[in-house]
Structure 1
């Protein structure tokens, strides 16, 4: 019953907003101009075609084909081809369905981690996560982010339930949606192994055939890792297309940005008067370290500087770069945010889990030269799920704040278009 309630509640906002967006923005926009035609090529059965500007694998397109096939099982009776059904609105609706699945998965994970939680509060938590503004916004566009999150959550839930083969299968889907998800595959597999450490020690003292059963359980993760390694070797790198614009560069400042965004996204947890404060020694050392990070690893990607359709353009130009001193003035906030995140996680999770999470965040974000809020979504959702459960009052407060932000950003996107003098077409503000 709780799963159905979650699905209905998410559908109540997802379907009307999706219909409104498709009416006002019927044509592919921004990265959709690459993803939608590519998906339509697959719908026509042309699997040899590939747009060299697309940087991610075809996982989303495969999910869309499966979704459309299930949506129209009788299409052959109506004499409809797969390509007739791969319209922009239907392809976008793939992510609407996946967003509903994401919320159901969040609810299931939260209830698994906290068996004593009531179904009502778990449902509220799932709805709250579903309203997270960046995730919510890209629910309505044909981007890879929602599919990527859904696959990672399904992989994690399967691992928690010790269904390791299913977990590895979802991990493969996650990597097919976005290459950097290989880090989350390793994270999930490692934590799955850690959760069995007691069993593993006992097994080491038993017969070989029992040890073999454990090896077999984790073999599928090895298959995923081996396949990914082969892909990187044959492809000559992790990025598929537009390699010159996505060169791996050490960008340690991403960790600082992520810390602040994550703390702000759950501000009742991190910015309350009674919350623990870092001591002077910790602050001094960390501020000095973060200052060095900014000096040698603060990258302004050409896309960030040139594309005024993204909010990051304005944050960079009008806040961080408004004056030379501002980026240093923000360092205490970064310090506090990470101190709060580590303190908060430490209340709920084992040290090994916190360490593996932080390493995974660094491995995902540091190689990315471009500042994108979308890159923060998966680690942020995992952080929220594993942080202490907020009170119902704070969950409702945050859900309201998220809803207001969502209304404003969608209104800007739909009703405040603008035009570039040097390029034809309507431009819109977005995350």
Structure 2
């Protein structure tokens, strides 16, 4: 099915050699994946170019535009192109340096294969820094197996890897955003200076040259994370929580604590919907009360936002061309489609969450409460006021059930009133999304409603997997975990299921943590997860068209945040090989994810190459100048 490599890898090898002298690449790790990508990706690229030698689908716009730039014709622009010219400028530079300015269809497509390799390197570096939790980055050769394997799987993500053989903007759009994210992580661990601030602005502007919606990931996500970082380093003095007997005293005390940086930002493992509310409120109060400290940290991202606003004002809109078919709208249903798409592609990673859900349902159905509810012991503390006890009761007992019911009701309302079917979705049967809509959403309103259960279940599994493995209550906390607790500072009582074992008082402030032992299993903080969700929503809900490519960056950042799942010790004789030290070093679910991605990639490649067809009218006449059409993402 595939043709062997025919072109020299010298240009790409030179680029990776430069990176090896920089900081992303070291020794056998990076080169190993490069060789693997070369011997697997090149046959895919060569076969596509052999069977589809002319520009295909969106390449009809991208390739001629890049070739014009390669010829120095920077005044030429195709009004059908809706994205900025970053990819074409990059192609012109690449071909000027390595290809003598000869921009062939093959060489342009080959750029994307190199881009996928670079995505692996940068994603691995990002994951390693995330595991470092603020510590200086160790050499790449010492990276955890999980960080390296995460980078491999991100590069193999089917919607991304498919375009390693076609000249689309998605590969380099993702790469430049990841470069900006890696720089952001450097700023968190090494501090900031004027040179890095300017570099941050330049990196952010470069992401905008690739795609307009990247502004959300740079300004909202990375800028938001740095704002939280600045707040965490306000270093408020520790105080003892006084006796709070009225609702006003609780509000006043905790608003004061939040204003000095004593925020509520627990690990996502022990965070529930009410924690999300308190986390957001505490961060907003802290940011409003400490604007100088926050702005000093995030001013480069404000600069990127200003550049974007200026470009929009100059252009008269976000879209560069073909504005009539790309009108921004409110499309909330995108946030419903997000979860099943993640659940499909990351199904192997969701196995523990699914088993845990089934087990909990089983326990709830089979376990009977035989013991009466214990009567609280008399307390010498002053009695709480009725409003305070009422709010405390509602948050402790009703907040979570109401949240679940409200989420389901909101999903039903979105399906009923905000399901948008773009004309492009129905007009082009070359995309898989055409068939997804045809056999589900377009069937009937009843089918649309029935899908809500799948949306909610998928959302639960995906979010639960992001939270990671929750230790049992009797498990002693690992060394370094104590400092994580300083960000748990909620004004009202939590249910016992949300409170980590061994913690008697979360209502004191201390210095932010400065070091934690790197651990692949450490979950993200609540603020990080909420910023990811907010940015994902902003980047998706304004798009009326549903395309898997729009979900690439939301999935990539979700995947970077997903913690490792430790391989358990087993006593079953046939499975004792799982207890070997070498096996314990790796996350077997990630290995299964790799196999899953390879299978999906091979299937979509095979369909693309082996099942061409021609469009025919109702009269049987061949349309579109008898060109062959092919199935793709």
Superposed pair shares fold, TM > 0.5: yes
2:346 to 257, 263, 266: 266
Contact kept in structure 2, 1:10 and 1:130, CA below 8 Å: no
What secondary structure sits across from 2:341 in the alignment?
helix
Contact kept in structure 2, 1:172 and 1:224, CA below 8 Å: yes
Contact kept in structure 2, 1:7 and 1:103, CA below 8 Å: no
Q: Shift of residue 236 of structure 1?
A: 1.7
Q: Shift of residue 191 of structure 1?
A: 0.9
In 2, the alpha carbon distance for the partners of 1:393 and 1:217 equals 39
Partner of 2:407: 286
Partner of 2:418: 297
What secondary structure sits across from 2:628 in the alignment?
strand
Partner of 1:220: 300
2:178 to 137, 141, 153: 153
Residue deviations 1:124-155, cap 9 Å, x none? 22212211110011121111000110011110
In 2, the alpha carbon distance for the partners of 1:376 and 1:197 equals 30
Residue deviations 1:65-84, cap 9 Å, x none? 22223324xx4xxxxxx2xx
Q: Shift of residue 280 of structure 1?
A: 6.2
In 2, the alpha carbon distance for the partners of 1:101 and 1:383 equals 19
In 2, the alpha carbon distance for the partners of 1:156 and 1:144 equals 18
Partner of 1:342: 463
Q: Shift of residue 109 of structure 1?
A: 0.9
2:594 to 399, 402, 405: 399
What is the root-mean-square deviation of aligned Cα atoms in Å? 2.4
TM-score by length of 1: 0.90
Q: Shift of residue 201 of structure 1?
A: 6.1
Contact kept in structure 2, 1:56 and 1:239, CA below 8 Å: yes
In 2, the alpha carbon distance for the partners of 1:171 and 1:11 equals 30
In 1, the alpha carbon distance for the partners of 2:461 and 2:197 equals 33
Q: Shift of residue 327 of structure 1?
A: 1.6
Over 3 Å counting, the alpha-carbon distance change for 1:216 and 1:3 in structure 2 is farther
Contact kept in structure 1, 2:119 and 2:178, CA below 8 Å: yes
In 2, the alpha carbon distance for the partners of 1:193 and 1:214 equals 5
1:253 partnered with 2:333: yes
> How many pairs were matched up?
415
Partner of 1:177: 210
Partner of 1:357: 532
Residue deviations 1:225-271, cap 9 Å, x none? 11110111121211111111111121100011011111222223334
Contact kept in structure 1, 2:124 and 2:148, CA below 8 Å: yes
Q: Shift of residue 218 of structure 1?
A: 4.1
Structure 2 unaligned spans of 5+: 1-26, 133-137, 188-195, 237-259, 261-290, 362-399, 469-522, 566-585, 617-622
Contact kept in structure 2, 1:252 and 1:366, CA below 8 Å: yes
Contact kept in structure 2, 1:10 and 1:100, CA below 8 Å: yes
Q: Shift of residue 49 of structure 1?
A: 1.0
Partner of 1:423: 624
Over 3 Å counting, the alpha-carbon distance change for 1:379 and 1:283 in structure 2 is same
Q: Shift of residue 381 of structure 1?
A: 0.7
1:43 partnered with 2:70: yes
In 1, the alpha carbon distance for the partners of 2:47 and 2:76 equals 32
Shift >6 Å, 4+ stretches: 211-214, 277-280
In 2, the alpha carbon distance for the partners of 1:199 and 1:286 equals 34
1:33 partnered with 2:60: yes
